[in-house]
Amino acid sequence: MQQPDIPKFLEILAGVHDFYGKELSDFSGQVWIEAMKPFDLEQVTKALSAHVVNTERGQFMPKPSEVVKQLQGTQTDRALIAWGKVSAALSDVGAYSDVVFDDPLIHLCVTDHGGWPKFCRTTYEEQSYLQHRFCESYRAYASRGVPTDYPARLTGVGSGADDYAKRGMQPPKPRLVGDRAAALRVLSGGSAVRQIAAQVVAALPLAMTGEAA
């Protein structure tokens, strides 16, 4: 949750307290804010709504620990959904094209584990372990909240913009994966520094990224 989200969150939280006939104190509000910081406001709002309408737990005021537990389960689901997008793109996009996913956390995880070309060249036998590592990284990043520093695109083999510029050519547009509008937001919001790092990783020989030749 970002700082601009906090007033809206407190408004929603006050409404939840009012629903249960309680008043939101300043101390309680701060506890809730700290507990919910790792999560998106939309996620938190949905979790609170789900609690209120739950036929068993909804009889009682939600506690921060209960909502955190629910949202952490959601992060596991998100990690698996993210991996599903990556897995499909391995064959649909391939190693020679730049790719932009609709989730910036995917860009961070792929870069951390060797870059897009390495992912594409992972053997079938290695994919189970790669999935495990990817999902662990995804959950770790998700627990920190919405990222502001991530590579705008995942660079394919030999697709660096500099190479095309030397030939007086425009680089090909990246392939967008997932929700198109969200992927375009990811592309426009990425960090130039992170992008350079991602290009360097993609250009490394596979042996240097921990993969056998």
pLDDT for position 70: 82
13 vs 166, more confident: 13
Measured in residues, the chain has a length of 213
Specify the DSSP class assigned to residue 207: G
CA atoms within 13 A on the CB side of 115: 28
Per-residue confidence band for 193, with pLDDT thresholds at 50, 70 and 90: very low
pLDDT value at position 75?
74
Q: Which pair of tokens denotes residue 190? A: 């990425």
**pLDDT band (50, 70, 90) for residue 209:** very low
Contact 15, 45 (CB under 8 A): no
3-state secondary structure of 27: helix
Average pLDDT for residues 68-74, to the nearest whole number? 78
- The answer on pLDDT for 135 being more than 90 is yes
The string of pLDDT tens digits covering residues 17-55 is 999 999 999 999 999 999 998 788 888 999 999 999 988
Q: What is the pLDDT of residue 191?
A: 65
**What type of residue is 133?**
R
- CA 48/CA 70 separation, integer angstroms: 10
Q: Which two tokens stand for residue 67?
A: 């909502």
SS3 content of the chain, % helix, strand, coil (to 5): 65, 5, 30
Cβ–Cβ < 8 Å for 79, 139:
yes
Contact 81, 138 (CB under 8 A): no
